[in-house]
Amino acid sequence: MAAFIALLCFLLILNQSSSLVNASVSETCKAIGFNYDFCVATLNADPKSASADTQGLAIIATNISKANATSTESTISILLKKTKDNKTSECLNTCSSMYSDLIDRLNDTITAITSKRYFDAKIYLSAAVGVGDDCETQFAELKVKSPLTKENDDSQKLSGLALGITSLLG
């Protein structure tokens, strides 16, 4: 019976401490004024977010944005191999270059956040937020339907989330 009570106490303490840790994600998502549900779901996709401080959450959000950009760049490569339309190919090539630059910029952002150069990180992320719209504009200007609308929208949201969290740092 004593072992059961000890186990019960341990589980209650563990539950309390994990609630406190998760409060960091919740409080951060409330503080940035971004889509709260999207913010929480995105950050909680990385198990490290449960124990991360605000700086750690900024890095996590930036890494998620980078993973999305890498996936989008891969999607573009596949689409380039399949497309036969010159205008679509032109747009895809331009977007590929944008996403390649974005990945580099997000790597620089992670370095800046880690080094506590938050001003630099915010500059990089501010530019990153526009990549999705810039890619969509390429298609619109040539009057071609974009095959990347969802990816571009995700890029904008994820970079915006990373920017919002990084802005809390200073």
Report d(CA 95, CA 74) in Å as an integer. Answer: 11
Alpha helices in the chain (DSSP H): 2-32, 36-44, 54-82, 86-114, 118-129, 131-141, 149-167
Dihedral class, residue 33 (left if φ above 0, else alpha if ψ from -120 to 50, else beta):
left
pTM (2 decimals)?
Answer: 0.85
Q: pLDDT in tens for each of the 170 residues of the chain? A: 433 333 333 333 333 333 333 459 999 999 998 899 999 999 999 999 999 999 999 999 999 999 999 999 999 999 999 999 999 999 999 999 999 999 999 999 999 999 999 999 999 999 999 999 999 999 999 999 999 999 999 999 999 999 999 999 98
Distance of CA 125 to the CA centre of its chain: 10
For domain 2-167, the question of CATH label 1.20.140.40 is answered with yes
- Best CA proximity match to 87, nearest among 147, 156, 152, 153: 147
Query: What is d(CA 29, CA 39) in angstroms, rounded to the nearest whole number?
Result: 6
Using DSSP's 3-state secondary structure scheme, residue 43 falls into helix
